[in-house]
Amino acid sequence: MTVQLQGCAAPAAQDLAAPAVRHERGQHEVFCGLTGIVWLHRKIQDAFFLVVGSRTCAHLIQSAAGVMIFAEPRFGTAIMEEKDLAGLTDANDELDRIVTQLIARRPDIKLLFLVGSCPSEVIKLDLSRAALRLSKRFMPQVRVLSYTGSGLETTFTQGEDACLASLVPELPASTSTETSLLVVGSLADVVEDQFIRIFDALGIKSVQFLPPRNSASLPSVGPNTKFLLAQPFLADTARELENRGATRLSAPFPLGVEGTTAWLRAAADAFGVDAALFDKVTQPARSRAERALENFRQDLAGRRIFFFPDSQLEIPLARFLSRELSMQLVEVGTPYLHREHLAEELKLLPAGVAITEGQDVDLQLDRCRAARPDLAVCGLGLANPLEAEGMTTKWAIELVFTPIQGYDQASDLAELFARPLVRRAKLVA
């Protein structure tokens, strides 16, 4: 086993509590959960992500993070050689040696994640036991945790879910009798700061974020904790928080003006914020965002869009595009539909929308080709073939890497969909 470090480079709402959903199981096209490291390592600034996997995994992470090649690396790959995979060597001894070497080289590491690229049956390592052993050895200097980013078991955004779920048991127990708010899901620092200012103006003072910006700021959690999901793909993390006694606030996700307002209102209602104060605090940002969206409505209104399942962001994105930019939803595919977490989103989708859970990529490609939408949102593996066939596409992964939550990012989100259509129009002209 060797270690390789990479550089980090609207219409009225429809009550569709139980919409008709097509279920498909077959060949699917997604990135694996390892790619979550690309944004998580930027968020938790004293963490290091050590992928335990093959050279293929090392190449994936290096390629996915190539845009950050000049930054200080805070992730790497402990490459499993053939003899490791065959069980001919004691991989635990090798892993211990590599972790010891890594921590000696990087004393700034305070939180180390061992990230499994495959099930333990493949890599011949029980990373949860290895993390426990290494954590006992290196605490209190370094806490060692583990999770799986296996593409055999997850879609790419579920890597963040697995990472945050592994953190929840480490969160300190809340001893306060006052109610606190926890925002769950990676947000760009600028978005986090915007929400902090709004919560503060609403009088909600005790606000924490998971993941935090550094491991010394792990939020406390307990029966008096209420939490808002900022991302729709955090099912395991939400369950772990509920097991710790926290209560989830049901709300749409903070995409667009409508989603952000409803998301903030869920917190305001839970903390008894007066409606007049809520309107006073949010109205300036709402009006500013609504005016900014007008710049993109002429490019997007009436355009037909097809979502391939990729990130689990598809349902909130479809709601935003349909209700705030008047786009027509041909089909909304999503890898997994968590009906409880998306209940408020589903109510806001137009009647009769075609929703697909799971994927049989050949069948979905056939439907997309037959529909000839103005824009197809898909993974990188499908974008080039569809572009070659004359379709306009949008890379789904860009919607995860880009700050899109909140009022001030609503127009940025709209521009991500308008840009490929504008580019296509210029090329045709």
Instruction: State mean pLDDT over 150-167.
Output: 84
Instruction: State mean pLDDT over 4-28.
Output: 59
Same domain, 423 and 296: yes
| 205-234 confidence digits (pLDDT tens) | 999 999 999 999 999 999 999 999 999 999
| 321-369 confidence digits (pLDDT tens) | 999 999 999 999 999 999 999 999 999 999 999 999 998 999 999 999 9
Same domain, 296 and 423: yes
Binding site for [4Fe-4S] cluster: what residues are annotated? 32, 57, 118
Strand partners, 77: 4, 51
Helix ranges (DSSP H) in 106-214: 120-123, 127-138, 158-167, 189-201
Q: Do the domain assignments include residue 325?
A: yes
Same domain, 95 and 135: yes
Same domain, 198 and 304: no
Pairing outcome for strands 180-184 and 207-210: parallel
- If you search the block for the tokens 């605090």, which residue do you land on? 281
Q: Could you tell me the residue range of the domain that residue 405 belongs to?
A: 292-428
Q: What is the CATH number of the domain that holds 133?
A: 3.40.50.1980
Domain total in the chain: 3
Same domain, 120 and 93: yes
Measuring CA to CA, which residue among 37, 404, 344, 64 is closest to residue 211? 37
Residue with the bigger pLDDT between 421 and 152: it is: 421
Same domain, 323 and 418: yes
Instruction: Report the Cα 137 to chain-centroid distance in Å.
Output: 32
Q: Read off the pLDDT band of 122 (50, 70, 90).
A: low
Report whether pLDDT(81) > 90. Answer: no
Last residue of a domain, one of 249, 278, 307: 278
The pTM score is 0.90
Q: Do the domain assignments include residue 386?
A: yes
Same domain, 341 and 423: yes
